[in-house]
Chain A
Amino acid sequence: MEKFWADFTKKFTMAFVTGDRWKLYLRGMGTTLELTACALVIGVILGVLVAVIRSAHDQQRLGKRNFALGVLNVLCKIYTTVIRGTPMLVQLLIWGFIIFKTSRNRFFVGMLGLGINSGAYVAEIVRGGLMSVDAGQSEAGRSLGLDYVDTMRFIIVPQAFKNILPALGNEFIVLFKDTSLVSAIGAAEVLYYAEAVGSKTYEYMFPYIGTAVMYLVFCIILTWLQGMLERRLRQSDRR
């Protein structure tokens, strides 16, 4: 027993204390959070764009189809199909080692890969949210003479937003955890540092478990925040 504790302390010290290594994990976690935020911004912009193009296309009047919109719609469909039909790790490897083979800015490559991946999922979330609003709402708006953009802006999107937020929160948490994959293409986030420490000390258990604990703590906080937000929204429904 005593031997176990001595061993434990030694490995713990090696993994976190020696050479102020705990700072590496924190720096890595900082990068992880930055990556998540940047990728989410890219994901939301791409996702909303794709969702709007696809809904606008589906709502066109027969006999008045717009050719450019048709082309864009096909591109959007290909995008969501390819991204959602292939593993994120494989996508990241393609971005990192084939498309941006020579780029030294691994953070940027990882961010792009994650954002483009996330966009496809956000697009489906937003599209689902827009479709969840009763068709009568859009008909009422249009029958009053409002155009498509105003109907979306004042009537459909505000109502869809409430339905979208919970799913968007989940996407944020999934994305946060998926950032660990970019260590595979050499972006210096928290898992990357944990592996660096492990390869130096030949001891991986503590760095890995330390990383897992950090992720878990953040996920618990995010889930809690999400729950609060949802309760807020539900309250405003009851007015």
Chain B
Amino acid sequence: MIDVKNLTKSFGDHLVLHNISEHIHPGEKVVVIGPSGSGKSTFLRCLNLLETPTSGSITFEGQEITDPKADINAIRRQMGMVFQHFNLFPNMTIRKNITLAPVRTKLMSQAEADETAITLLKRVGLEEKADAYPAQLSGGQKQRIAIVRALAMKPKLMLFDEPTSALDPEMVGEVLAVMKELAHEGMTMVVVTHEMGFAREVGTRVLFMDEGKILEQNEPHAFFANPKEQRTIDFLSKVL
């Protein structure tokens, strides 16, 4: 589904991603872990071109998205992204937050989008918040809405960048529950997280990043049971 070839990214002369090649298959739940500053967010943000790769190529469903002529907006419509800090639009109601993109990109009429919004809100148990503003919601509610907003575009792939890191501990569960449900429905997901329980339970593959490289990867049970690299062992001993 996504094919990353020799992806390199530097900010100025600071090399952040070092020649990464990786393939993500449909239906996979790839969990990316690693120490802070290792390039996890940058890697994820390159996948939907929020960061422009310095070199290398990324292909999504057979289309090279790093080609300067590629229609980046059309490609982004097929990938949802959920941010650490939610990034809901504070100037709009929840309903508008969810329907703005599907309507403006002509994916749906306003009526269809409204219906989709309500269906999705019901799924996460927040239908009564449709006319509230983001400032009136708790962190966990905001993040569930952010997931719903991305889903309203009917994406083929969801990218999550530490979706629970900014939440109070008692709200982490409600967000992970939504993500688990999504995983069970077959969504292809790439998730940067420090939730090792989630990685173990939901992940089909764990990537360990360190200093801009994917140092080690494996299926979750093997990964946590027998980490091979010393760096991985050190990291796991700190977080587990």
Contact = CB atoms under 8 A, between A and B. Distances in A.
A142 B76 contact: yes
Contact of B73 (A64, A136, A139, A146): A146
B83 A146 contact: no
A23 to B, nearest CB: 48
B133 A239 contact: yes
A97 to B, nearest CB: 47
Contacts of A155: 89, 91
Given A137-B87, A155-B91, A146 B52 contact: no
A144 interface: yes
Interface in B75-96: 76-81, 83, 85, 87-92
Contacts of A239: 133, 135-136
Nearest to B79: A143
B86 to A, nearest CB: 8
Contact of A142 (B50, B74, B135): B50
Interface residues of A, number: 22
Nearest to A148: B73
A143 B76 contact: yes
A144 B49 contact: no
A21 B12 CA distance: 67
Contact of B89 (A61, A63, A140, A143): A140
A158 B90 CA distance: 10
Contacts of B1: none
Contacts of B80: 143-144
A154 interface: yes
A176 to B, nearest CB: 30
A195 B48 CA distance: 65
A144 B77 contact: yes
A150 B92 CA distance: 14
Interface in B201-225: none
Contact of B83 (A62, A136, A150): A136
Interface in A112-151: 134, 136-137, 139-147, 150
B221 to A, nearest CB: 32
B46 to A, nearest CB: 12
A62 B136 CA distance: 38
A139 B50 contact: yes
A146 B101 contact: yes
Given A137-B87, A154-B92, 5 more contacts: A136-B87, A140-B83, A140-B88, A144-B149, A154-B104
Interface of A: 61-64, 134, 136-137, 139-147, 150, 154-155, 158-159, 239
